[in-house]
Amino acid sequence: MRAAFRYLGRGSWLSRRDPRVLILVPLLLVIGGSQMRDARQLAVLLLLAFGYYLLARIPWRSVRVQWTYLLGVIGVFALFNALITGGRAGTFIDGPTHVLLTIPPVGAELTAEGISLAASQLLRYAAYAAVGFPVAYALAPGDLAIALRRLGIGDRIAVMVELTVRFIPTLAAEFGETVDAQRVRGYDPTARGGGPITRLRRMAPIFVPVTVGSIAGAEDTIDAMDLRGFGVGRRTWSRELRFGGADWLVVGATMAIVGLATFLNLSGQSQHYLLPFLVPA
């Protein structure tokens, strides 16, 4: 199993930015995007986010599974919400609804308002993903901890996050090896017999060795860090980070979007928008 963040955006304009930019932009966009409800405004936000995404030059073939998963899962959930609420949520909570379809036997109604709400959700999450992908694929390995530290996260937590990312490929490989080793001993990971509890307990031969083995193996890492004085005093970092003009431009533009989103939200100009082509004439 290949589970890792690959540096696919190497050499792109975005990968040459200060690594803090790649973390700040998605964080700020989530703050801005969660204040926007109007699908038209969210469509513009998605366009801008996609422009940012293209600057990372991530090969489509490497991330198409994630995009498909994202749009599929969010789309299904948004549709589920549209059916459960009948479109009576958000700005449409008190108003009349335009029923397009009634689904038997429960009589759930698919309304124009429900689809409009689903569209807002989908646009928002697609924008989040567009600015989120560069964090995994355009951030240079080894820059994550220093970027978090310079954003104000403590030394130890910054190192913890980077350790997590570093451990992923190793633990994924151990997981695969454990499954193979147990298979040789007669374990069948694909067995379907028994109820959910039985199937859950049947996973113990995988979970236990991988988890306990990883924890036991961590002792060397802990000793190595302690021997190097980790956590004793203030940590120094070999790399210096400095914002350039282009970095300020990107962060400034994102903060302007957040400011605009906040203004629109507080002034009541970002209400849910009923897509006109859904309303029966």
Partner 1 sequence: MNSMNSGQSDGTWSITTRVIVYAAIGAALYAVFNWTTFAIQIPGTQNVSIRPHFGLVTFFGFAFGPVAGFLVGFVGNTVGDQLAWGSAFGSWWWSVANGLAGLIAGLFPVWMASRMTSLSSRAMTAAVAGVIGTVVGFLFIWIELIIQPELGFNTILTGEYIPVIVGNSIAAAIVTPILIYAWEPLREQLGR
Instruction: Please answer whether residues 245 and 84 qualify as being in contact, where contact means their C-beta atoms are separated by less than 8 angstroms.
Output: no
CA distance 118 to 83: 10
| CB-nearer residue toward partner 1: 65 or 184 | 65
| CB-nearer residue toward partner 1: 110 or 128 | 128
Residue 85 C-beta: closest distance to partner 1, Å: 4
Residue 281 C-beta: closest distance to partner 1, Å: 26
Residue 230 C-beta: closest distance to partner 1, Å: 5
CA distance 113 to 206: 47
Whole-number Cα distances in Å, 45 to 170, 248, 260: 37, 19, 11
Instruction: Please answer whether residues 46 and 32 qualify as being in contact, where contact means their C-beta atoms are separated by less than 8 angstroms.
Output: no
| CB-nearer residue toward partner 1: 1 or 184 | 1
**CA 188-194-197 angle, 5° bins:** 100
Residue 245 C-beta: closest distance to partner 1, Å: 26
| CB-nearer residue toward partner 1: 13 or 67 | 67
Give the burial class of 2: count Cβ atoms within 10 A of its Cβ; 0-12 exposed, 13-18 middle, 19 or more buried: exposed
Instruction: Please answer whether residues 278 and 97 qualify as being in contact, where contact means their C-beta atoms are separated by less than 8 angstroms.
Output: no
Using the structure block, give the residue that is written with the tokens 């980790």: 230
Whole-number Cα distances in Å, 231 to 143, 149, 157, 228, 239: 19, 14, 11, 9, 18
Instruction: Please answer whether residues 148 and 161 qualify as being in contact, where contact means their C-beta atoms are separated by less than 8 angstroms.
Output: yes
| CB-nearer residue toward partner 1: 149 or 272 | 272
Residue 1 C-beta: closest distance to partner 1, Å: 7
Residue 151 C-beta: closest distance to partner 1, Å: 13
Q: Which helix (H) or strand (E) holds 100?
A: strand 99-103
| CB-nearer residue toward partner 1: 148 or 247 | 148
